[in-house]
Amino acid sequence: MYQELKQHLKKFITISENDFNLFINKAKLVQLDKNEPWVLEGRISQSFGFVNSGLLRHFYIDNGNEKTEKFYTSQSWLGDYPSFLSNTPSLRNYVAIEKSELLVLSFNDLQKFYATVPSIEKFGRLYAEQLIIESYNRNRSFLLDSAEKKYTKFINEYPELTQKIPQYLIAQYLGVKPETLSRIRKKFLDIGQ
């Protein structure tokens, strides 16, 4: 159950068996069914999760309309760190797209690990740097790229998800209407034939 997490951490840091065991002893296993929420907006975020298996997304609700910002596949971390740090209610909703398994750690425990386990603190810094780069690239793409280019980036970044995720969610993620996505996909299919 913890092998996915261990492999993921090793991409960033060297972690001793003892430090890894300390880390996982604080983690709780959470099983989510399809469409089951993990966190809903309006509450202060208290947890950080590692996607051991499955697929989730986070989205905002704007005037009754959902706006998907990110998908979380296996070996992804999720959690509303700004909500925790600022002690303000989360504006995000985290929901499973398919049956999913998370290893969940409280932000308070994570803070304690940062203070006492140098390898975990290093992991936190390196992972935060990766998230900053991802956020920068996503924002830049959202502002400057055409719908076709955004879709191309999506299928390159998430090739396995184009068949797993409903098209309306992909359209939300790209910031286009479902009809626009249908036209783009048709164009890609026509070019591919």
User: What is the CATH architecture assignment of 3-128?
Assistant: Sandwich (2.60)
pLDDT of 192:
60
pTM: 0.89
Q: DSSP secondary structure string, 75-120? A: T-EE--HHHHHHT-B---EEEEEEEEEEEEEEHHHHHHHHHH-HHH
Instruction: Identify whether the C-beta of residue 99 lies closer than 8 Å to the C-beta of residue 57.
Output: no
Q: Is the model's pLDDT at 191 over the cut of 80?
A: no
- Grade residue 193 by pLDDT with cuts at 50, 70 and 90: very low
Mean pLDDT for the stretch of residues 143-161:
92
Whole-number percent of the chain with pLDDT over 70? 97
> Longest C-alpha distance within the chain, in Å?
57
Q: Which residue has the tokens 């932000």?
A: 107
Mean pLDDT for the stretch of residues 165-178:
93
149-152: Cβ within 8 A, 24+ apart: 150/174, 150/175, 150/176, 151/181, 151/184, 151/185, 151/188
pLDDT, tens only, 83-110 = 988 999 999 999 999 999 999 999 889 8
Q: Is the model's pLDDT at 8 over the cut of 70?
A: yes
pLDDT of 169:
94
Q: Is the model's pLDDT at 23 over the cut of 90?
A: no
Identify the H or E element spanning 22: helix 17-26
Name the residue ranges covered by the structural domains of the chain: 3-128, 145-193
